[in-house]
Amino acid sequence: MRRKRLTLKIRSKKRFSNKKLKLPYVSYALPPIVLFCFCVFFYCHFFTSSPANEPPHSISISNHSSLAISTELIPHSISITNHSSLSASPPPPPPPPVYEKPNDQKIVYEKPCDYTNGRWIRTKRNPLYNSTTCVNLKESRNCIANGRPDLGFLYWKWKPSECYLPRFEPNTFLQLISNKHVAFVGDSLSRNHLESLLCMLNTVTKPNGFSHQSFTRWLFPSHNATLSFYWSPFLVQGVERNNQGPRYNNYNKIHLDHANMRWEKDMDQMDMIVLSLGHWFLIPSVFYWDDKVIGCVNRPVSNCTTDIGFYGPIRRALRTALNSIIKKKVKKGNGIDVILRTYSPSHFEGAWDKGGICSKTEPYRAGERQLEGENAMIRRIQFEEVERAKARAKELVKAKPKAEKFKGFRLEVLDVTKLALLRPDGHPGAYMNPFPFAKGVSKHVQNDCVHWCLPGPIDTWNEIFLEMMKNMAQAAEE
Ligand SMILES: *[C@@H]1O[C@H](CO)[C@@H](O)[C@H](O)[C@H]1NC(C)=O
Ligand SMILES: *[C@@H]1O[C@H](CO)[C@@H](O)[C@H](O)[C@H]1NC(C)=O
Ligand SMILES: *[C@@H]1O[C@H](CO)[C@@H](O)[C@H](O)[C@H]1NC(C)=O
Ligand SMILES: *[C@@H]1O[C@H](CO)[C@@H](O)[C@H](O)[C@H]1NC(C)=O
Ligand SMILES: *[C@@H]1O[C@H](CO)[C@@H](O)[C@H](O)[C@H]1NC(C)=O
């Protein structure tokens, strides 16, 4: 049933060599990079969107002491799939998934632990992968290949206050997702997270990747496991700001009352969803409810008179997404696991467009950097909405007639905000591009202080993710 539906949906398949892990990108689903930045206080936000190659231009925000500026860069690594030519000579479909029993490796369960609080300590161990073992690493994240000279940032591990965080075990992870489909839904940071996971899994087995208009999938035939990425930076319906081309659109249009159909329509095929949101709400946006304008943020248009900020909209969008999952899953009685990955802070020093950089080469020490301001607020909203959704799901389950089987709806938080906040050294910075100083250091060089180098501290997110999966599997057995 599932196989058939999958096959029908795939308009353009791309088979990938088994020798390499490739990260395919589709032009529509995964638009290339735009960098937007709000210099609020002393650092900025910075993230990705749409295709263009223009000199940066600035937009002033009247209701801010600061500026919002955007620049757009074409990432070299994004390949545009020509759908029509692909469908003209379709490649063979991926082989049917066969689940071979993996090595009978005993999964060791750690005691559940609070991974949120802790510190970064030095380690001598090498990262699980490098750009040789994970070929086709997205260029803009491949900091070492791009010439980043200081490698010290690779040699830190997260030490939770009350326990140890084990190293990522790719085989254990694959065992836990055997016969499952785990979908990542979000923006380029969600993709960054998934790319780290793929690089780590790639050290033991090679997936077959393929792209569709609304998602990219990686099948692990050895475990009949599927990972997928759905580009949906708002989680709800909307049109992303796009400074160029025929779909020119100077601001986001975000419909807070409808979950984005791109991922919502495939929900029945998913066993686990990893959701995240944040940065895209900070740029000029108009918010809609029931197709009516309810407010905006950062003056997207001159007739926007009601600045409602971005906290309320982030909360509403998350609530709408979670409600949609609850409605579809809990009411139908077939459960799903939902992981909300919390906000990932950025680390600009100075104005991003005046040489703003992330120059640190070491983590912050305990107490050196507090969780505060937007980082704290967005994370708090995410926790509050998860609690709210849990309570709502519970109510719905209670109201169900006893005879109705319910397979469970689980909702957990993957809290990365604090550990990420302490890693100003983990971003590509100037090494988002190859050898940025080859022509001299005086030249202005764009920095990326939002996404994370691969390998890098973002790999820790997956170590915690694995521990969560182990605990969930254990809880299900009990
Ligand atoms: C895509 O492929 C079609 C059919 O092969 C071809 O006619 C068209 O020019 C291609 N478009 C691009 C942008 O390469
Ligand atoms: C990458 O890792 C492999 C396996 O651990 C190792 O043999 C190789 O030397 C590494 N390559 C680089 C460039 O560090
Ligand atoms: C393969 O995995 C899918 C979930 O992605 C599941 O629905 C299907 O039953 C699995 N197939 C087998 C043979 O277990
Ligand atoms: C601004 O005015 C235009 C034209 O009347 C309208 O279509 C648009 O919805 C307005 N935007 C806001 C945010 O009120
Ligand atoms: C400007 O922002 C402040 C909060 O920073 C808000 O209280 C105020 O209503 C906003 N004013 C306008 C005109 O949007």
Taking only the tens place, the pLDDT of each residue in 50-107 is 332 222 232 222 233 222 222 222 222 222 233 333 333 334 444 444 454 444 456 6
Question: Of 275, 246, 460, whose CA–CA distance to 385 is shortest?
Answer: 275
- Is any ligand 1 atom within 6 A of the Cβ of residue 442? no
Q: Which residues are catalytic?
A: 188, 448, 451
**Under 8 Å CB-to-CB from 176, ≥6 apart: which residues?**
107, 466, 469, 470, 473
- CATH code, 408: 3.40.50.1110
Query: What does the block give as tokens for 43?
Result: 């650092």
CA of 142 to the centre of ligand 2 (A): 14
pLDDT digits (tens, 9 = 90+) for 256-315: 999 999 999 999 999 999 999 999 999 999 999 999 999 999 988 888 889 999 999 999
Contacts of 130 (CB under 8 A, 6+ apart): 144, 455
Q: Relative to the CA of 179, which ligand 3 atom is closest?
A: 2
Instruction: Please tell me what DSSP assigns to residue 236.
Output: E
Query: What is the share, in percent, of the chain residues with pLDDT greater than 70?
Result: 73
pLDDT band at 397 (very low <50, low <70, confident <90, very high): confident
Residue ID of nearest Cα to ligand 4 atom 2: 303
7 within domain boundaries:
no
Residue 85 Cβ inside 6 Å of ligand 1? The answer reads yes
Print the domain residue range for 395. 107-477
C-beta 133 within 6 A of ligand 2: yes
pTM: 0.77
Residue pair 146/436 in contact (Cβ under 8 Å)? The answer is yes
Burial class, 408, CB count within 10 angstroms (exposed 0-12 / middle 13-18 / buried 19+): middle
Beta bridge partners of 429: 448
Candidate from 239, 292, 293 with most ligand 4 atoms within 8 A of CB, to mutate:
293
Please state the atom number of ligand 3 nearest to the C-alpha of residue 178.
Answer: 2
Position 84 in a domain: no
Residue 12 lies in a domain: no
DSSP three-state, residue 226 = strand
470 within domain boundaries: yes
Q: Is residue 44 part of a domain?
A: no
- Strands (E) across 290-408 are located at 292-297, 336-341
For residue 286, the ligand 4 atom closest to its alpha carbon is: 13
Residue with tokens 């940066």: 56
Predicted confidence band at 21 (pLDDT cuts at 50, 70, 90)? very low
Q: For a substitution probing ligand 2, which of 125, 130, 454 has the most ligand atoms within 8 Å of its CB? A: 130
Atom number of ligand 1 nearest to Cα 80: 13
The structural domain count of the chain equals 1
Task: Give the ligand at the shortest distance from the Cα of 1.
Answer: 3
- Residue 159 in any domain: the answer is yes
**Helix pair 188-201, 458-477: axis angle to 10 deg:** 70
Does 157 reside within a domain?
Answer: yes
Give 94-114 pLDDT, tens digit per residue: 444 445 444 445 666 556 789
- Tell me the pairing of strands 208-211 and 216-220: antiparallel
- 68, part of any domain: no
**3-class state of residue 268 by DSSP:** helix
Whether 323 lines ligand 2, by a CB cut-off of 6 Å, is: no
Are the CB atoms for 447 and 456 separated by under 8 Å? no
